[in-house]
Amino acid sequence: MGIEEFRKNAKDMVDWICDYYASNEELPVRSEVEPGYLRPRLPQTAPQHPENFNSIMQDVHAHIMPGITHWQSPNFFAYFPSNSSFPAMLGEMLSTALSTVGFCWIGSPATTELETIVMDWLGKLLCLPTSFLAFDEQGKRGLGGGVIQGSASESTLVSLLAARARALAGRPMDDAGRLVAYSSDQAHSSIKKACMVAGTPYVRIIPASPEHDYAFDAVALEEAIREDLEAGLLPFYVTATIGTTSSCAVDPIAHIGRITQQYGLWLHVDAAYAGVTSMLPECRHHFEGLELVDSFITNGHKWLLTNFDCSCMWVRNAEPLKAALSLTPAYLRGKGNDLDYKDWQVPLGRRFRSLKLWFVLRSYGTENIKKFLRHHIDLGKLFVSLIQTDARLEIVAPPRWGLICFRLRGPGNEATTELLERVNKSGKAFLVHTELSGRYVARMAIGGSLTQERHVRAAWQLISQCATEVLAARAQRK
């Protein structure tokens, strides 16, 4: 494809994207194809001769679109939101076009330096402790700083690797077998995966109870650490969550932080979804204790209008991270500074991700971003008030931000299972479930870039109507 052909096709693609965004609310939100649907529809091998843009796009319409679940639909209420926005897309387009691989400073100085600047901007906006910033107000370089990882799971993994490096510094390697990590049973599964990858398989999962709104039991954590120390083990790492995936529980960071400081453990805080609300004064109380934390992440690609991938991670001191991940063969040596981001992540190559975040922060401005978050928090409150008008339904965990966990009252799980399947089959909304204390619970996650009040009201009407149908069908079956 030559330049002029690209110019034309790219304009057509932008038109296609605009049409998609103007109409995606009409599309069935959850794809209804069966596993393996695509293989019989596409050739067995790559084409030997060139095909043109239009014929590829025809196949996009005919074969790809039916298999798309529309995360950017305003009626998408599943998982957590994964925002996109036009400024982010423009930044992404530019990043793709420049295609830098900014593993070290000289590899593309702007790629490194913009990331440092944008992460400091965002860190300040989130009111993170100054120790998390790369540069203080006087422009003095600190020990910490921010880095954009591909996902929250990668952020958790590198924090664990840094914690392990710190814990094992000056110790015999054999001690690695005695390391213990801790999390609550409500923490994201990525913590277990990080332990699997890091070869520190001993992770103690502390149960969180409904009496404490599913938050991490800090007292039980301290008991577990003491027990393990007495047993000759090496407690080294705790992950706590602000906004757990199942129910948006908030772990007591300040309490846990005092414990990790006392026993010398690394504390990682996973605020993948809710972390961005640290910029709102009315949400700041959830973030108390961050000055006791070693690493903190929130995903720009969840609720900050920045398309996947953009996991924003800060560390108070980058030295353990570099101790765990720094490796510089001859061909990578050269002019640089202390910020070669290859030393802050697992892969060598890295995309110019900060461009899209920079486009977002500049195009919206912080005031509009705050409005955007408050808008969804208000829609969450609206949905709670709608549920409360219906005695057949109950809310099963404190609703927080845009996440509301609810179920049909009654002993069994089947009714709520049927309710959710009926809602999702309609194509008019998509929600997923979780399990809380063995109960099947529907999760309404509000935060899509395009979601407005009318979409939440329509989802509520659909849920209410499906509840009527499910209860009637069950009464008939009895």
Return the SS3 of 138. coil
Per the omega criterion (within 30 degrees of 0), is the bond before 213 cis?
A: no
User: Least Å distance between CB 14 and ligand PLP?
Assistant: 27
Binding of residue 273 to ligand PLP (CB under 6 A)? yes
Q: Which is nearer to ligand PLP, 241 or 424 (CB)?
A: 241
The label of the residue with tokens 């000289």 reads 106
Binding of residue 397 to ligand PLP (CB under 6 A)? no
Site stretch for ligand PLP (CB under 6 A), options 121-129, 223-231, 240-248, 467-475: 240-248
Binding of residue 286 to ligand PLP (CB under 6 A)? no
Binding of residue 116 to ligand PLP (CB under 6 A)? no
- Read off the amino acid at residue 3: I
Binding of residue 358 to ligand PLP (CB under 6 A)? no
Q: Which is nearer to ligand PLP, 188 or 286 (CB)?
A: 188
- Contact between 88 and 356 (Cβ < 8 Å): yes
User: Least Å distance between CB 116 and ligand PLP?
Assistant: 21
What are the backbone dihedrals phi and psi of residue 402, each rounded to the nearest 5 degrees, phi first? -105, 15
What is the spatial distance between Cα 169 and Cα 157, in angstroms, rounded to a whole number?
Answer: 18
Instruction: Supply the DSSP symbol for 251.
Output: -
Parallel, antiparallel or unpaired: strands 266-270 and 295-299: parallel
Binding of residue 431 to ligand PLP (CB under 6 A)? no
What is the spatial distance between Cα 349 and Cα 102, in angstroms, rounded to a whole number?
Answer: 7
Q: Which is nearer to ligand PLP, 82 or 85 (CB)?
A: 82
Closest CA to 300 of 341, 376, 342, 355: 355
Residues in the chain: 478
Q: Which is it for the CA torsion 231, 237, 243, 244, positive or negative?
A: negative
Q: Which is nearer to ligand PLP, 299 or 451 (CB)?
A: 299
Binding footprint of ligand PLP, residue count (CB under 6 A): 15
Closest CA to 287 of 192, 449, 297: 297
Site stretch for ligand PLP (CB under 6 A), options 30-38, 267-275, 322-330, 363-371: 267-275
Q: Which is nearer to ligand PLP, 134 or 274 (CB)?
A: 274
User: Which residues, 6 or more positions from 416, have their beta carbon under 8 angstroms from its beta carbon?
Assistant: 407, 408, 433, 440, 441, 442
Site string for ligand PLP, 59-98 (x = CB under 6 A): --------------------xx------------------
Binding of residue 434 to ligand PLP (CB under 6 A)? no
Binds ligand PLP by CB under 6 A, chosen from 311, 345, 354, 451 = 311
What are the backbone dihedrals phi and psi of residue 381, each rounded to the nearest 5 degrees, phi first? -65, -40
Instruction: Supply the DSSP symbol for 404.
Output: E
Binding of residue 304 to ligand PLP (CB under 6 A)? no
Number of neighbouring beta carbons within 10 Å of residue 125: 16
Binding of residue 277 to ligand PLP (CB under 6 A)? no
The two most distant CA atoms of the chain are separated, in Å, by 76
User: Least Å distance between CB 216 and ligand PLP?
Assistant: 13
Site stretch for ligand PLP (CB under 6 A), options 119-127, 270-278, 340-348, 417-425: 270-278
User: Interface residues with ligand PLP (CB under 6 A)?
Assistant: 79-80, 151-153, 188, 190, 241, 244-245, 270, 272-273, 299, 311
